[in-house]
Amino acid sequence: MKNMSKTSIIGWTILIFAIGMGLEILFQWWLLIPLLIGIFILYHVKNEKDLRDNKRTLLLIAGYSLLAIPILSSTFLKLFIIVVVIYGLNEYSKSKKQVNTITVNTIEPGQKTTHFKKKQPFIRNFFAGNQRIVNEIYEWDDINIQCGFGDTVVDLGMTMLPKGESTVVIRGLVGNIQLLIPFDAAVIINHSTVSGKLKVFEEEETELFNSNVIYHPNQDESSIRTIKIITNIVVGNLEVRRI
């Protein structure tokens, strides 16, 4: 167990709970019957081409509902949800002790080809915990990361952005996101959140709830460099400021 990565432990945990839930449903007929009926209904809908739209919709609802009954009734599913909640709260508590800070320095981009190229990104996805990259030199690539629990700071202050539009995509579950932007770059923001706040430079919009906000000010069209920021977070705040 000590030599296993966190990703492997999570994967084995999900597999064990999935097998346990499958065995529980298999050996309890009151859970197996609605599952089999639901599968039969969905199979019938898929292969029957002459069903009217209304009838097809009703059968799909009935089929998926019957599939959901044994799954939601499973004791292993309830235990899995409890384990996930406890693990998430524990990791979030640990991540709050130190903010995840990413400082990005880049070199001028070299000649690019049209072929696919797999490379190790300088900013990695993480479920929980802290990631810190400082005083490293990288060729600029658009940023596309997923963050689970914890605060994230992306520092683009020393970045040599290429001409045109550069994209930063960050998705997270719970935590705050802060982006530090060069003073000479134009900014476009598309922010989606269930609950949180948004602050862009000196403009602040509070009490966002189940909202999608687009920030596209009337900027000088002669701007050489533009940063397009796309963020999705369930609960947390987004702050964008210049340095």
- Which two three-digit tokens encode residue 194? 């269930």
Q: List, as one string, the DSSP characters of 63-80.
A: HHHHHHHHHHH-HHHHHH
Strands 186-200 and 203-215: antiparallel
Q: Which helix H or strand E contains 27, and what residues bound it? A: none
Closest by alpha carbon to 99, among 157, 156, 155, 160? 155
- Confidence band, pLDDT 50/70/90 cuts, at residue 118: very low
- Mean pLDDT on 27-50: 86
Residue given tokens 């003073």 in the structure block: 183
Name 232's bridge partners: 171, 192
In this predicted structure, what is the pLDDT of residue 131? 47
- Confidence band, pLDDT 50/70/90 cuts, at residue 230: very high
* Whole-angstrom distance, CA of residue 220 vs CA of residue 202: 18
In this predicted structure, what is the pLDDT of residue 46? 82
* Whole-angstrom distance, CA of residue 48 vs CA of residue 52: 10
Does the pLDDT of residue 129 top 50, yes or no? no
Residue type at position 194? V
Closest by alpha carbon to 10, among 126, 118, 122? 126
* Whole-angstrom distance, CA of residue 154 vs CA of residue 12: 32
Give the burial string for 196-216 (b: 16+ CB within 10 Å, else e).
bebebeeeeeeebeeeeeebe
Is pLDDT larger for residue 110 or for residue 57?
A: 57
Burial of 117 (0-12, 13-18, 19+ CB in 10 A): exposed
- Which two three-digit tokens encode residue 43? 């199979």
What pTM, to 2 d.p., does this model score?
A: 0.53
Does the pLDDT of residue 91 top 80, yes or no? no
- Mean pLDDT on 149-160: 80
Contacts of 4 (CB under 8 A, 6+ apart): 12
Residue type at position 161? L
* Whole-angstrom distance, CA of residue 14 vs CA of residue 11: 5
Question: Where are the chain's structural domains?
Answer: 6-94, 100-108+121-242
Name 164's bridge partners: 225
* Whole-angstrom distance, CA of residue 145 vs CA of residue 125: 5
Does the pLDDT of residue 159 top 90, yes or no? no
